[in-house]
Structure 1
């Protein structure tokens, strides 16, 4: 008995030779894609949107305000904000990136207090006299001022952008001597600017005095007009796809890794040579294999497995002789064997699908019965 083998590298050998580099490349690519997917949109929602229930959203604050009798109106344009203003309201600005300078001036002309979150665009128009400065780590801070809304709330999760405040303004939640919350009066309207709005989000609302501070600032008037960015900014040519959201550095990294994988494949992959035939060192006879497996079954007293092997081999050999498909059911096979051999269907069924023999004598009897059935089918 002889076999053949090849002296050229196998696919497994090629894989083992370069699997380290391939594995690293795959991990980097998957990490980059996962980072892009997980980092888009600050927790997967619209930050400080009163209709957003994600960790970065503001739905929790909106619900609290409504429960305390404050009318919360979500608007996405200056026109909607003007129409929703009853004259005794607070205008909450969490995103002004979509507004132009003229639109910002229209907002300041409204007879409403203004609460500005973060260093928004047109801050000099929305909060005259307030200038953004350096940034500080956002953490739990004490008020450190006499502003009633802050002193009643106590410590809050503030920081972020620090501001230069106009003269006479309340300077609260200081970091390095600069306030992260500024409050003052401008032309009869209260203007409040905070450097970070995380204390108003669903994630942070229940910590420290965050809920109290947010409600004191946003719920000071019977109506809160909450201006958020529209779903699609007017004038936009279309929504961005996933590829557009991938940072340029990640694109270059993936391209370089792909080139490295191609070069590695060209280096490691060699043309398979001709097959070399050689004599195997040991010839194992089929009978020895059967006897060896039988000894193992006997040593472990695995009569169930031995019976299953006998039955499976019998069915595989007999089914083609009966003209049955391999997918035929047990009843069909039992009926066909009983008809060909003249044996009772109950005996045939018990031999093929009954319980395993209880002892070695039963196993020998089963083997003899199956051999007799196979001989009768072959001779019929």
Structure 2
């Protein structure tokens, strides 16, 4: 007999092509990873090729001779800030004391989209006045860098300042605040610094002028996990506004007064033996009042019918599982009434109101007495 089972050679011929394709894909992927090297991701990351990254801007700055130092902790930012431009991508994570030291040592500080609470804390006199759509905007000011760059993709938060020398540009989404310790520039949106928007309008020119003023640029990417900020973190009590503390005190007083009012004594405690004996008539009357209050005439009627059927079955010698028709025939034969009348009484429509419920109860009582007497 000749075997038709595939041998090793046939199996190899069948799988070698798919196996070669899989190995080629794995080899290609490995080579791509090795040649591309380590990739960084994240918004405004100088090594990120993503639309929100800033690899393109970092490359342009390095070609112009600007040395970029990327830091991720407050300690590093303060150590490298002297005589440089410092870009802070997440100002909300930088405490006031850290920002003050950076501003004191740096020549130029650029803040990207600082919130209302942040600018009020680190830049007295500066506040957020609203928000505008990110789009192409003209400088509409006399500041040197925006005028030289021309139209740019700006928007996001709007800022204003009480300092007379401060300059608001691009509809308020760009604010330049000169000071004795150096200039602080506030951007309402990160668009001009990103890969996605850098080639549009005058974004590249604006970004290069902002970050390329000095030979060294400190690219500070703050994070909430920065261990060097542990000593500068505020306790929760300092983060709660004063108004909330006063409201909490008022609410506490109100709760205490409510507790005193609700816990007042109405008299001595009355001892009552348990269990309490309740007469059957009182229980029946109380239950009837509950049904009446709930307007449950139909439910009460079904209870009366079921009780009557339970009492009639033993009187007629019938079992509990007897069919309704058999029970009706037996009652009709014993009382001499028509089966239709008995069926309507024992299995008819539920009573619609209290008057119908009373008539039903009377009818059931009469039938039971007739069966007992017969």
Q: TM-score, normalising length from structure 2?
A: 0.47
Higher RCO structure, 1 or 2 (CA under 8 Å, sep 6+): 1
Larger of the two Rg values belongs to structure:
2
Q: TM-score, normalising length from structure 1?
A: 0.46
Give the structure with the higher percent strand: 1
Give the structure with the higher percent helix: 2
